[in-house]
Structure 1
Amino acid sequence: MTTLDTTTPTGGIRTARHGVLRLGLARVYYEARMYFRTPDSVFFTFLFPFIMLAIFTAAFGSAGNIGTAPDGSGGVSVGAYYLPGMLAAGMLLSGVQNLAVDIAGEKSDGTLKRLGGTPLSPLSYFIGKIGMVLVTGTIQAALLILVARFLLDIALPTDPSTWLTFAWVFLFGVIACAFLGIALSALPRSGKSATAVVIPIVLILQFISGVYLQFYVLPEWMQNVASLFPLKWMAQGMRSVFLPDSFASLEQNGVWDLPLVALNLGIWLVVGLVLSRVTFRWIRKDS
């Protein structure tokens, strides 16, 4: 039987790739475990969408359904309307906010410097962080949907093709946000300033992208600004999954426009990948 000679260039490259992947997957477990051991991360990125959905439902539920016809029929409950936005916000918080703050802290306290002196490559480190966001984001989304269905009595889609749309919007959105979080971690000058730098950016995006405010009531210029960023497209994609087709007329172009959603999320995924690789350093340049 012929065996692969790992001393050849091809065998060596293949072995190196396997080593990078193996280290990256090992980091996923470590990162996810550390995430759930950090109370502030769990509260502000994992539980925050649950809390906001409960607040909106309790505060505005008595006002009646959103999107009702002139005769008072139709529409959806307040909780059902805000569910897509909270799912999109959870993706943004898990990826952008959590990673930007977390990596800036690791850079400030010397964790990244120590990792840079080990066999761990930046790619393995990225795999660990992105894998952690995928794991925690999936758990968060699943629990949020279960809470919406069984505690808030929100009807869920039954068409398998609709859930397929949910899957690709979620996957594109989470990975893009993870890369952008890695890139954004280069902006704060220290771990202490990371929260002050990152949270206002994330909060503004949520207000202008249809998470906390009904997107169709925002001025056109604000909708145009929101369209430059991925959260608007993540929220629009999620609304296409969980809201009736009649709500498509309330979107900026009057349709769900899922191909445009996919295009914009794909562009941001590539942009995030490039920015994260270009800006990532084990230590700051000015250290």
Structure 2
Amino acid sequence: MTEHTFSTPTTAPAAGAPDAALFRPAPGAAPMWRMVTAQAAMELRVMLRHGEQFLLTMVIPVLLLVGFTLTEVLDVGEGSRVDALTPGVLALAVMSTSFTGLAIGTGFERRYGVLKRLGATPLSRFGLLAAKTLAVLGVQAIQMAVLCAVALGLGWSPSAGLPGTAAALALVLLATAAFASLALLMAGTLRAEATLAGANLVYVLMLGLGGVLFPTSSFPESLERAVSVLPITALASGLRSVLADGSVPGVGAFAVLAVWTAVGALLASRLFRWE
């Protein structure tokens, strides 16, 4: 009887053969920065494809800028009309994206269960807030480019130097954080219909009372003091100081926006509900 022996081949895997480790399961959540980046990219695509938000964030600010520059229906004071109107319209564009559009969109996502499904993922409340804020910043970059191009075509001549430009960017970033946190607070605590009505009401009120189309110095003294603590007023007056007057805004505008940012972010992180 012949005895057979078997031995394990010692030949190395052929070149180019797939490594078994590549197909080994690796359960676990992705790093937070990767989750936030992916969510922000998705939020940005949704915002750019939404027709109503495009009307709110792009069309209305452009129409206001062009309409009130070419007509004298509104008294904007002495000097160039486009120079007086552009800072306030830029502030309105920031609010329309980071507050009104974000609040309405998030409110209906919450109503239709989108946020509930996101809540079942490893994405935290902070991650969701950060992703939505990054998406808003992306839309605002497009807004600023479009509005500045239109304003320059109308004869706008900004007076900002390098320090003023840095101050304006800081104001926009602070205002975006403040408006986004307030939008998520509203959308995360109220019903979608209440959020829709409240966000549109705030938009209309701030258009008239927030120093958007004309400085609040034309208001009665008591009303001027009352609206000076609003984030839209701080942003509009700060941008007007930089772009129209050529001066760096005072500490007050930054302080107002910083307080609104801190309070809004704290309340949103604690009170925001996924459903």
Which range, TM-score by smaller chain?
A: 0.7 to 0.9
Q: CA deviation at 1:62?
A: 10
- The alpha-carbon distance between structure 1 residues 105 and 29, as it changes in their structure 2 partners (threshold 3 A), is same
- Aligned partner of 2:263 in structure 1 is 271
Matches of 1:267 and 1:193 in 2, distance apart?
25
CA–CA distance in structure 2, aligned partners of residues 155 and 61 of structure 1: 22
Deviates more, 1:99-108 or 1:216-225: 216-225
Give the alignment's TM-score, normalised by structure 1.
Answer: 0.80
Q: 1:92 matched to which residue of 2?
A: 95
**Cross-structure match for 1:7:** none
* Structure 1 pair 158–169 and aligned structure 2 pair: CA distance change class (3 A): closer
Q: Distance in 2 between matches of 1:61 and 1:105?
A: 37
Contact 1:24 1:127 in 2 (8 A): yes
For residue 38 of structure 1, what is the aligned residue in structure 2?
50
| One of 182, 185, 195 as aligned partner of 1:183 | 185
- For the aligned residue pairs, the C-alpha RMSD in angstroms reads 2.1
**TM-score, length basis structure 2:** 0.84
> What's 1:217 paired with?
218
Residue 200 of structure 1 is matched in structure 2 by: 201
Q: Secondary structure in 1 aligned to 2:71?
A: helix
Shift of 1:172: 1.0
Distance 1:97 1:161 in 2: 30
Task: Give the C-alpha shift of residue 213 in structure 1.
Answer: 3.8
Distance in 2 between the 1:156 and 1:228 partners? Answer: 26
Match of 1:169 in 2: 171
Given the superposition, is the C-alpha separation of residues 153 and 116 from structure 1 closer, same or farther in structure 2, using an over 3 Å criterion? same
Alignment match, 2:251 = 259
- The separation in 2 between residues aligned to 1:130 and 1:257, in whole angstroms, is 24
Counterpart in 1 of 2:125? 122
Would the aligned equivalents of 1:177 and 1:269 in 2 still touch at CA under 8 Å? yes
**Could you tell me which amino acid in structure 1 is paired with residue 85 of structure 2?**
Y
Aligned residue type for 1:234: L
Residues 199-250 of structure 1: CA deviation (Å, up to 9, x unaligned) = 11121122111113442211122212212211110011100111125xx8xx
Q: Is the CA contact 2:87–2:239 (under 8 Å) kept in the aligned structure 1?
A: yes
Q: Post-superposition, which runs of at least 4 consecutive aligned residues in structure 1 deviate over 4 A?
A: none
CA distance in 1 between partners of 2:213 and 2:158 (Å)? 21
- Taking a change above 3 Å as real, the CA distance of residues 158 and 92 of structure 1, as seen in their structure-2 partners, is closer
Distance, in Å, in 1 between the alignment partners of 2:208 and 2:189 is 22
Judge conservation of contact 2:182–2:264 (CA < 8 Å) in 1: yes
Do the aligned partners of residues 238 and 136 (structure 1) sit closer, same or farther apart at CA in structure 2, a change above 3 Å counting?
same
Q: Within 2, Cα distance between the matches of 1:259 and 1:158?
A: 17
Contact kept, 8 Å, 1:61 with 1:77, in 2: the verdict is: no
**In structure 2, what is the equivalent of residue 27 of structure 1?**
39
Q: Which amino acid aligns with 1:138?
A: A
Q: Tell me whether 1:49 sits opposite 2:61 in the alignment.
A: yes
**2:179 is matched by which residue type in structure 1?**
C
Secondary structure at 1:40 match in 2? helix
* C-alpha deviation, 1:257, in angstroms: 5.0
Unaligned 5+ residue runs, structure 2? 1-27
- In structure 2, distance between residues paired with 1:29 and 1:205: 29
Q: Partner amino acid for 1:165?
A: A
What is the rounded CA distance, in whole Å, between the counterparts of 2:193 and 2:210 in structure 1? 28
1:152 alignment counterpart: 154
Which residue of 1 is the match for residue 18 of structure 2?
none
Deviation for aligned residue 1:158: 5.3
Match of residue 77 from structure 1: 80
User: How many angstroms apart in 2 are the aligned matches of 1:145 and 1:222?
Assistant: 31
Separation of aligned partners in 1, 2:32 and 2:93: 29
Distance 1:130 1:94, change over 3 A: same
Whether the aligned pair in 1 keeps the contact of 2:116 and 2:274 (CA below 8 Å) is yes
**Identical aligned pairs, as a percentage?**
26
Give, in whole Å, the separation in 2 of the partners of 1:95 and 1:187.
17
Structure 1 runs not aligned, ≥5 long: 1-14, 68-75, 249-255
2-structure distance, mates of 1:194, 1:172: 23
- Matched residue, 1:228: 229
> Once the two structures are superposed, what CA deviation does each residue of 1:234-276 show, in whole Å capped at 9, x if it has no partner?
011100111125xx8xxxxxxx752111111111111111121
